[in-house]
A and B are shown apart, each in its own frame.
Chain A
Amino acid sequence: MKILVCITHVPDTTSKIQFTANNTKFDTTGVQFIIGPYDDYALARAVELRDQTNGKLTVLNVGEAETEPTLRKALAIGADEAIRVNTFPKDSFFVAKQIAHYAKEGGYDLILMGRESIDFNGGMVHGMVGELLGIPSFSPVMKLDLDGTTVKMAREIEGGKELLEAQLPLIAGCQEPIAEWKIPNMRGIMSARTKPLNVVEPVAADTQAEATGYQLPPAKGAVKLVDKDNVSELVKLLKNEAKVL
């Protein structure tokens, strides 16, 4: 079985978000980049499924050279090979076109990625790739098991979940608790250095909704503390000042 996992290269969840160049660029000063947390869940499950089926696991990122350490980390976690599509990920549609092209070329049975990237939070690339390839897409998937070519999944919905059954090939946007994150061990880190990381050129694709400028939310005022023995004061404030009751 051939599995493709698409990963994003995103700022660590604890990063301070700031912009530069007149609010047109993300400020990478002091920011550590990681595999997207949701992608990390997808990757962890993919490693298990690769082992279970004796298959092959390819990991792909659409990004420029600075994303290679992130791809190497995915190799250290257990992917067999990596592909970097050498271009800046301009918008979701542009990225989906790149993934669809290389996914088609590779003929994968199962394509996994995170439910959304934690930078732009669009949560749409998996669905777009599914439609472009003409295969079913599911998200957010919190459980995924294989039974031959049948895939049994649980998809989170508001206030609960849906249990689903579908046939390969398919694509899924993943989230916890699909698998436990895997920490690379020393052997993984050593072998990652020699595993293939292929750099390929992007295919021509339009952009449809590019970000042109950024803003930070207005700063929050200081907290108003209410004495613990005077909780009715809080009720009054919520009612009359905040007007949320």
Chain B
Amino acid sequence: MNEKKTSIMTKVKFTRLTFLLLFTLFAVNNPLFAQAPDGDAAAALPAGLSADPAVIAKGKEIFTGNCTSCHAVHEKVIGPALFGVWDRAPSREWIYNFVKNSTKVIKSGDPYAVKLYNEYKKTQMTSFQNYGPAEVDAVLSYINSVKPPEPPTTISTTDGGGTGTSTQADGGYTTAILTILIIVLVLILIVLGLMVNVLTKFLQDKEDLAEEDKEVVNQKSDLGKFFTSNGVIGIFIFIIVALSMKAGIDGLFTVGVQQNYQPRQPIAFSHEIHAGQYEIDCNYCHTGVRKAKSANIPSANICMNCHSAIKTESPEIAKIYKAIDFDPETGEYGENTKPIEWVRIHNLPDLAYFNHSQHVEVAKLECETCHGEIKEMEVVYQYAPLTMGWCINCHRETDVNTKGNGYYTKLVQLHKESKGGKTPMKVEDIGGLECSKCHY
């Protein structure tokens, strides 16, 4: 027992050491990487824009949260590609006003605004009353920081690549060792077999053997008798029964588990296109994900934010128009609406309470943790088993995201005091496995 522990400990220490080494390497390298683009950008920075990472991060947040449904940086979507807008627009002031209230600018008869309006199928841009010059500049700074997409061959040399290959090498190394080990063992087995064979032959040739020894040497294993012996049959029956029982019980456990459930939806909506290709933030459509128990299937009016202008001829989009009673010819809405009946994929039983906002807003989990690579799903399927064991397991393994959250300050301190600050605070440690956290 103790030996095992120490061996694990050394392993842990070893891995830590490797990590430490890797990290120092990275830390030394990083400034070199970081500085080069910095210098580049500073040279060509348009007036008023910033290269400060904080500003860019803020801009990115605003951009992904509000703009990506209609705009991309280097690509024309519903609205124009935004890169270089600071040069195209009449003035920076004009951009501020247009973001704040585009309708007002268009109505004022501003020639550039009217031109844009007509060019983009008379689609009005949503007004963002809350965003002033500071926010708009942040967004512009972010847009400026996004490099135009390059041919895929050049992508591989990004900073993530290093660690990627190292883990791969790590994996290959283990396989190689294991393969060699197996080969060596098989070789030893063959050599041993040969030796037995040679020695038996040698003994058989010998005349002066005692009776008992002869018996041993000439002994022939009777396989038939062996297999019909009660013991062997018993063991076989036991194994078969045990296996079939296990299979049966496992089978029963899958009753009601709908992992990989991929029903056909009434509208062929593709997450691959929306979340993957156009990188629309999940929160844009699933409006409740940060504030409520349910993430919400988006209502049809959210689809219409874009699809009043995009792909208006598609038969799939026509289904949305029918639901919301929209006439694409006249652009008018009627009263005769009919809700879209999506097929529910994730069916948690009623007795379990799950709250999206707890996991997404408080714990800051990625949607993909439970929903899989949604960005690659043409048709969504249930990625996780959604069983209680799966929930519990995650609560056992996951550290509580306490960073900057005043709710946990005292808890973290108490946890440190009791555990000596060694182990991180898991969800389990603060009652995450208790019944009434999910069942009431």
Genuine A/B complex: no
Interface residues of A (CB under 8 A from B): none
B: residues with CB less than 8 A from A are none
